[in-house]
Chain A
Amino acid sequence: MTYRKLATLTVLATVMLAVLPNLAIAQMSHQHASEAACEETVLRCATKVTPAFAPDGTLWLAWMAGGQISVASSKDRGRSFSTPVQVTRERLNLDWGPDARPKLAIGAKGELALAFSTFRDQAFNGQVLTTRSTDGGRSFDPPKPITTNNESQRFEAIGFDPGGGVFAVWLDKRNRVPAQQRGEKYDGAGLFFATSKDGGATYSDARLVADNTCECCRLALAFDGAGHPVVVFRNIFEGGVRDHAIVTFNDLATPGEVHRVSSDDWQIAACPHHGPSLTISPAGTYHVTWYTNGKARKGLFYARSRDGGKTFSDPLQIGQPNRGPSRPQIAAGPLGLVMAWKEFDGQKTSIHLMTSHDDGATWSKPTDIADTADSSDHPLLVSDSRQTYLSWMTKADGYHFQAIEGEP
Chain B
Amino acid sequence: MKRHLLAALVLLATLPSALAAGEGAPKAFERGSWQKLLHAHAGHPTLVHFWGVTCGPCKVELPQLGQFMKDHPDVDVVTISADLVPNLPEATRSMLDHAGLASAENWIFGDGFAERLRFEIDPAWQGDIPRTMLIARDGTITTIEGSAEIADLNKWSEAQTATIR
Q: Hey, which bits of chain A sit against chain B, CB under 8 A?
A: 8, 12, 15-16, 19, 22-23, 25-26, 29-36, 47, 96-98, 119, 122, 124, 215-216, 267-274, 291, 293, 298, 322, 324, 326, 344, 346-347, 349, 374-375, 395
Contact = CB atoms under 8 A, between A and B. Distances in A.
B16 A22 contact: yes
A8 B2 CA distance: 8
Interface of B: 2, 5-6, 9, 12-13, 15-16, 19, 28, 52-58, 83-87, 91, 94, 109-116, 118-119, 123-131, 145-147
Contacts of A347: 116
Contacts of A124: 53-54, 91
A324 B123 CA distance: 7
A23 B54 contact: no
A19 B126 contact: no
A122 B91 contact: yes
B57 A33 contact: no
Contacts of B129: 270-271, 273
Nearest to B61: A269
Contacts of A98: 84, 127
B113 to A, nearest CB: 4
Contacts of A34: 85, 87, 112
A347 B120 CA distance: 10
Contacts of B110: 29, 32-33
17 contacts: A19-B12, A22-B13, A26-B16, A32-B111, A122-B94, A267-B146, A268-B145, A268-B146, A270-B129, A270-B130, A270-B131, A272-B126, A272-B127, A274-B128, A293-B126, A298-B124, A346-B116
A374 B112 contact: yes
B16 A25 contact: yes
A102 B163 CA distance: 53
Contact of A270 (B55, B116, B119): B55
B46 to A, nearest CB: 21
Nearest to B2: A8
Contacts of B147: 269-270
B31 to A, nearest CB: 10
A349 B118 CA distance: 13
Contacts of B83: 97
A27 to B, nearest CB: 9
A273 B110 CA distance: 19
Contacts of B131: 270
A15 B94 CA distance: 36
A176 to B, nearest CB: 10
A122 B145 CA distance: 26
Nearest to A8: B2
Given A98-B127, A270-B128, A273-B127, A216 B55 contact: yes
A271 B119 contact: no
B47 to A, nearest CB: 17
B141 to A, nearest CB: 17
Nearest to B114: A375
Contacts of B128: 268, 270-274, 293
Given A22-B13, A34-B85, A324 B124 contact: yes
B126 A270 contact: no
A15 B5 CA distance: 11
Nearest to A323: B123
B127 A15 contact: no
Contacts of B6: 12
A97 B109 CA distance: 14
A25 B112 CA distance: 16
Given A97-B84, A268-B145, A375-B113, A26 B19 contact: yes
B145 to A, nearest CB: 5
Given A15-B9, A34-B85, A293-B145, A324 B126 contact: yes
A16 B9 contact: yes
| Shortest 10 CB-CB contacts between residues of A and residues of B | A268-B146, A270-B146, A269-B147, A35-B112, A26-B16, A269-B146, A98-B84, A124-B54, A375-B113, A272-B128
Which of A12, A16, A375 is most buried by chain B, counting CB atoms within 10 A of its CB? A375
Given A22-B13, A26-B16, A271-B129, A32 B124 contact: no
Given A273-B127, A324-B123, A324-B126, A395 B116 contact: no
A270 B94 CA distance: 21
